[in-house]
Amino acid sequence: MIRGQERRLALWLLLPSLVFVTVLGAFPILSQFVLSFTDLNLRFPADRGFVGGANYARLVTDAVFWQDLGNTLLFTVVSVGLELLLGLGAALLINRAIRGRTALTSTLMMPWALPTVVAATMWSLILNDRIGLVNSLLSRLGLISERVLWLGPKLAMTSVILADVWKTTPFVAIILLAGLKSIPRHYYEAAELDGANRWETFRAITLPLLKPFIAVALLFRAMDAFRIFDLVWVLTGGASGTETLSVYIYKVLFRYSEMGYGSTLTIALFVIVFLMSLGLIRSMRVQAE
Amino acid sequence: MAHRGATIWSWFGRMLLVVLALVPIYWIVNVSFSGPQALYKVPLDYYPNPPVLENYREVFDVNQFPGNVGNSFIVATLTTLLTLALGAPAAYALARLRVRGRNLILAVFLGLAIFPAIGMMGPLYVAMARLGLINTIPALVLPYTLFTLPLAIWILTHFFSTLPASLEDAALVDGCTPPQAFLRIILPLSAPGLFTSAILIFIWAWNEFLFALIMTTTPESRTVPVALALFAGLHELPWATIAAATVITVVPVVVLVVFFQRQIVEGLTSGVER
């Protein structure tokens, strides 16, 4: 194909989506940058003005921001950690099944495919301290003598993490299962001939070859977990130490109508997620070399 | 003998997985077929005793729910079509043609995928309000397409790059122009890839909550997840009705998962190997 002709075709093919993204996406993102330097409050729109870096200075000394950053980090590290561990276990179990792999995968995918709001509503019923299934089962088994407040101050974060683990472990498992399937069988046959036991085989063959898949799952999950909103919103509304950065941003923007400071928080969250993704991608590259 | 022991253990592990995945879902189905007071029995019944249909009747009679289901279908379908119409040509160009500024374009889509959706809500709401689109289908389809486009381009770029490199050349030798080569040769061959992305986009749009909550203010214009979340505000937590509405919401997703499991897995894992 002639080079110029090819370039022209490429341009025409790319143009619609680039125009779409520019018109619809660039405007909101840029306006966030601009607004983050103003003190626009929708309750007093006439009073808005350019305040320079004041919002960013406020962010540095905002105790709620740091508290919620801590909550978000805790949520991300614990839930993604558990999801990787359990996802790996589930993938190994499914991969070893001789029959029924398709049915198993379909079953496991159900939690992932549910709307987050539905999953959250479901869990808030199941964890309800008076009429929930969990307390009913535990007390019938004689494991608890009084109602456990799963969504109360002590256990709320644990419950949010558990609900997230239930919903997204399947995603990790599906990615890792694809990884396991991509490992050639004769590697394992060779290891068996060499007399390697299961653990040695896992350490020497499975884990290293699975690394790129683990990395992708980790990246996708970490990015999503850091921006978690729906699950927390429905389960606790951000109460009891479960307020994450996205929930805080939602409150600042839509409850306190502080568009200026809310935009600053959005930009901060964007930068954090961006740096985190960059860091993860970098460390994967280093690992791969 | 050790081997047989391990087999039994992993069978046990798989059963545990199934139980953990399904028990919460079973519980909602159970509540949806039980009477409104069943949840307050001590001890609880773990199956519908007796099974009733009144919760489903309630969902369909009292509320706008059928209309909400319709909205969700239309929004998810249009989002899927628009995303593919925009994304497939772009992904083709990125995968198989020389493109100036390729890395910059990829960076734009990546940035879009990383930007917190919550921060785009305000400006997009203002934009949709100015255009008079609040409470209409486009107010959801347009923002949704913005978020599904990076995903579709990611999957389809991978898919197009797996097709044999000689396809277009053969088409050109046979007298096709480059656009014809794309439309007549590549597009039909990429039906599986398009289908895979379509399922993932549909599920994403069907499940989306945040924008649907902001962009709709009337009961008739809501999508299913929002209608469901706002049930709680209507009555005093009518769990049995909520459960019935939940089951209705979940049915299409379950059908997609059961029938198109292979395609979904392909979509989720595409591009990982690279």
- Euclidean distance between CA atoms B32 and B40, whole angstroms: 14
Compute the nearest-CA separation of A83 from chain B (Å): 13
For residues B103 and B165, is the Cβ–Cβ distance under 8 A?
A: no
Give residue A11's identity as a one-letter amino acid code. Answer: L
Compute the nearest-CA separation of A21 from chain B (Å): 6
- CB < 8 Å to B103, chain A: none
Contact across the interface for B17 and A102, Cβ inside 8 Å? no
Contact across the interface for B17 and A108, Cβ inside 8 Å? yes
Contact across the interface for B25 and A3, Cβ inside 8 Å? no
Residues 6 or more apart from B33 whose CB is under 8 A from it?
B48, B51, B52, B53, B55
Q: Which CATH superfamily does the domain covering B54-269 fall into?
A: MetI-like (1.10.3720.10)
Other CB atoms within a 10 A radius of the CB of residue B150 amount to 22
Instruction: Provide the CA A210 distance to its chain's centre, in angstroms.
Output: 21
Burial classification of residue B40, based on how many CB atoms lie within 10 Å of its CB (0-12 exposed, 13-18 middle, 19 or more buried): exposed
Which tens digit of pLDDT belongs to each residue from B25-72? Answer: 999 999 999 887 888 877 778 888 788 888 888 888 766 888 999 999
What's the token pair of residue A219?
């990246």
Q: What is the ipTM, given to two decimal places?
A: 0.85
Residue of B nearest to A141 (CA): B43
pLDDT band at B1 (very low <50, low <70, confident <90, very high): very low
A259 — phi, psi (to 5°)? Answer: -65, -35
pLDDT band at B236 (very low <50, low <70, confident <90, very high): low
Query: Across chain A, where does the E strand assignment appear?
Result: none
What's the token pair of residue A209?
């070859």
Contact across the interface for A20 and B122, Cβ inside 8 Å? no
- Euclidean distance between CA atoms B125 and A133, whole angstroms: 39
Question: Which residue carries 């279908």 as its tokens?
Answer: B73
What's the token pair of residue B262?
């292979």
For residues A54 and A264, is the Cβ–Cβ distance under 8 A?
A: no
How many angstroms separate the Cα of B68 from the Cα of each of B30, B212, B218, B254, B264?
Answer: 23, 11, 11, 18, 25
Compute the nearest-CA separation of B75 from chain A (Å): 15
How many angstroms separate the Cα of A45 from the Cα of each of A258, B114, B119?
Answer: 10, 30, 19
Residue B118 has a pLDDT of 83
- Euclidean distance between CA atoms B150 and A36, whole angstroms: 26
A73: which DSSP letter?
A: H
Q: Which of A122, A166, A182 sits opposite B273 (nearest CB)?
A: A182
For residues B153 and B93, is the Cβ–Cβ distance under 8 A?
A: no
Helices B261-269 and B239-259: crossing angle, nearest 10°?
A: 80
Reply yes or no on whether the pLDDT at A230 is more than 50. yes
Contact across the interface for A1 and B172, Cβ inside 8 Å? yes
Instruction: Provide the CA B53 distance to its chain's centre, in angstroms.
Output: 28
B273 — phi, psi (to 5°)? Answer: -65, -25
- Euclidean distance between CA atoms B74 and B71, whole angstroms: 5
Contact across the interface for B124 and A20, Cβ inside 8 Å? no
- Euclidean distance between CA atoms B30 and B13, whole angstroms: 25
Q: What is the mean pLDDT of residues A73-87?
A: 96
The per-residue b/e assignment along A179-205, b for 16 or more CB within 10 angstroms, e otherwise, is bbeeeeeeeeeebeeeebeeeebeeeb
Does A136 or A99 have the greater pLDDT score?
A: A136
pLDDT band at A111 (very low <50, low <70, confident <90, very high): very high
pLDDT band at A173 (very low <50, low <70, confident <90, very high): very high
Interface contacts (A, B; CB < 8 Å): 249
pLDDT band at B273 (very low <50, low <70, confident <90, very high): low
User: What DSSP letter does each residue of A191-258 carry, written as one string?
Assistant: HHHTT--HHHHIIIIIHHHHHHHHHHHHHHHHHHHHT--HHHHHHTTTTTTT--HHHHHHIIIIIS-B
Instruction: Provide the CA A117 distance to its chain's centre, in angstroms.
Output: 15
For residues B172 and B149, is the Cβ–Cβ distance under 8 A?
A: no
Contact across the interface for B90 and A17, Cβ inside 8 Å? yes
Which tens digit of pLDDT belongs to each residue from A269-279? Answer: 999 998 998 88
CA atoms within 13 A on the CB side of A268: 24
Work out the percent of chain B whose per-residue pLDDT is above 90. Answer: 30
Q: Which of A13, A108, A254 sits opposite B93 (nearest CB)?
A: A13
CATH number for the region A64-288 comes to: 1.10.3720.10
For residues A135 and A149, is the Cβ–Cβ distance under 8 A?
A: no
Compute the nearest-CA separation of A134 from chain B (Å): 10
Contact across the interface for B242 and A121, Cβ inside 8 Å? yes
B34: which DSSP letter?
A: S
Residue A166 has a pLDDT of 96
Which tens digit of pLDDT belongs to each residue from A53-70? Answer: 899 999 999 999 999 999
For residues B99 and A10, is the Cβ–Cβ distance under 8 A?
A: yes
Q: What's the pTM? A: 0.88
Does B61 or A36 have the greater pLDDT score?
A: A36
Residue B274 has a pLDDT of 47
- CB < 8 Å to A230, chain B: 209-210
- Euclidean distance between CA atoms A9 and A18, whole angstroms: 14
Residue A189 has a pLDDT of 86
Reply yes or no on whether the pLDDT at A246 is more than 60. yes
Reply yes or no on whether the pLDDT at A283 is more than 70. yes
Which tens digit of pLDDT belongs to each residue from A208-217? Answer: 889 888 988 8
Best mutation target, A3, A12, A117, to test chain B (most B CBs within 10 A): A117
Give residue limits of the domains in chain B.
54-269
Closest CA to B38 of A140, A136, A146, A131: A131
Residue B196 has a pLDDT of 86
- Euclidean distance between CA atoms B139 and B133, whole angstroms: 5
Mean pLDDT of chain B: 86
Lowest mean pLDDT among A154-163, B71-80, B256-265: B256-265
Work out the percent of chain B whose per-residue pLDDT is above 70. Answer: 94
Give residue A69's identity as a one-letter amino acid code. Answer: L
